[in-house]
Amino acid sequence: MNHPTFSGYGHIINRFGDVMDHVDKFAFKGVGRLAEASLVSPSTISRLINNQINPSFALIARVTAAIEKELGMRIDPRDLIAEEGKFLTPSVCNLTACPGCLPESAVDEFGDTKQRFQGVLPGTWVTSRYPKGFQEEKGGR
């Protein structure tokens, strides 16, 4: 299991993968397509999504610009990656102008809602890894 990146200040939580699922161009073969649009390697995008790197500002700026172009709207990078998961816009759906959904990972192979998504309404989840938010799941404020 990939754990959030620790920067010395707090756990860095990102939701690039969740936002990619809301962008038609990046929902299928997203790593390669986002890498091409961001002018970086696919391995860099993969490591970014999986919290395996502590990204530079330049990388975040490139990836954010590529996502903005496809969504046709501005996004503050702090809505894509944030210390302790304190995103400016709590819901991924609100961030991407989605009318409200749950990620595929919210249900198991039988179609039952997974425990961590119990009580999470469509359109209100923060990230697929922390649907109620990092602070809520870790017992913080």
The tens place of each residue's pLDDT in the chain, 141 residues long, gives 566 655 567 888 999 999 999 999 999 999 999 999 999 999 999 999 999 998 999 999 999 999 999 999 999 999 999 999 999 999 999 999 999 999 999 999 999 999 999 999 999 999 999 999 987 566 555
Sheet hosting strand 11-14, strand order edge to edge: 5-6, 11-14, 81-83
Q: Where are the domains of the chain?
A: 5-133
pLDDT reported for residue 123: 96
**Interatomic CA distance for residues 33 and 42, integer angstroms:** 8
* pTM for the model: 0.86
